[in-house]
Amino acid sequence: MSILDAGFINSWLSQKTSIFGLKLWVLLGICVGASIVLVLFLLSLCLSSRRRSTKHLKHRAHESTPPISKDITEIVHHNREVHIDIGKTENRVVLGENRRNPAPPASSSTTGTASSGEAAAPSMTGNGGLPEVSHLGWGHWYTLRELEEATGGLAEENVIGEGGYGIVYRGVLGDNTVVAIKNLLNNRGQAEKEFKVEVEAIGRVRHKNLVRLLGFCVEGAYRMLVYEYVDNGNLDQWLHGDAGDVSPLTWVMRMNIILGTAKGLAYLHEGLEPKVVHRDVKSSNILLDRQYNPKVSDFGLAKLLYSERSYVTTRVMGTFGYVAPEYASTGMLNERSDVYSFGVLTMEIITGRSPVDYTRPPGEVNLVEWIKNMVAERKIELVVDPNLPEKPSSKALKRALLVALRCIDPDGHKRPKMGHVIHMLEMDDLLFRDDHKLGRKASSRQLDRDNS
């Protein structure tokens, strides 16, 4: 470029423009600067948009992944799960949903047990280096290693009961505490949140007539419940076992068992929120201590019923002969279902007969129908267990039968609540004592006459 050309360009750039009288070169500089700022701004917008898009995708991915419970940490093991079917099918009632693969039947158990959990897996020890002991508010969080050591590796010789809900082992913990450990089976649909909520609710239960739940274990496919150990067997064994010609259970003891059972159920129904519906009240679920005081067991994962609801619809589960008719036909469950089962249990305790016994004549197979017929024919003295060492008074027997008959009313709304049942039974207890006092007075008067 020549000097003339350079001078021309310089002269041209130095010319004033009509825009605020700015020289041309100044105006061009402003335009170039503004262009650079605009490009930087657009680049900034692109980068910000990309960051927001990436963050949104990460957030969506996080939302699509189910959150892991912070209270119950599941330790995953890559072992093949084993599903075990146990129990006697002829004794278990399973209706409603999942008819193709119903839950297995239940049989008698001799310690505190519970229901509903996940399938069991092969025995394994260790927990991947995680802490051996943890706590969850109300009770103890046991590790699988602890419970395996307590039961000798879930050894068969430590099995003390089994049913449709699981296998019960006798175990001795590291501090020499004897416990009953239930390994839950065959309920893989149980949601983790539901398991946690119901176990926590039951874990806070404290009543002398309820078996106490001490803690639980959740590892891999294992769901295990740990209970206090009750070592005097269950009511079914004492009523129907080989106890000889004279039953060790006197009338007074039987009434005490009925009353204690009623108090335990009343606490579940009326002393808790949400209330707990047992679903499987029967003689094999009534454990006895050394003084023959009753403790209701197998309520661990029954069903919770909140105050704003009158029913909960569920798959019908219970034991043949004890299940309330409306529950069996509709699956609608509430505390009146337990009241019906309690009425059948009361009849069983009075008579010493099973609710359903096919070895008896046709008219006596069904205990409830047989007792109704005997009451209608005014033959109530014949329903008393013939192995009782001492027969009850007519008044005491009538009162006990009246309680039982009211509890098994076909109309669930006419059945009494367990609190009312307790009141009627305690009145019966007073009447029974009065009868004995009158009997002793009459005997003493007779002795005075003889001596005179």
CB 166 within 8 A of CB 100: no
The CA–CA distances, whole Å, from 242 to 231, 236, 268, 330 equal 18, 11, 33, 38
Spot the catalytic one: 280, 298, 338, 428: 280
CB 383 within 8 A of CB 376: no
CB 183 within 8 A of CB 224: yes
409 given a catalytic annotation: no
Distance CA 324, CA 415 (A): 11
CA dihedral 280, 281, 282, 288 (to 10 degrees): 120
The amino acid at 212: R
Distance CA 206, CA 213 (A): 9
Distance CA 190, CA 280 (A): 18
Three-state secondary structure call for residue 287: strand
Three-state secondary structure call for residue 74: coil
In this structure, how many other beta carbons lie within 10 angstroms of the beta carbon of residue 142?
25
Catalytic site positions: 280
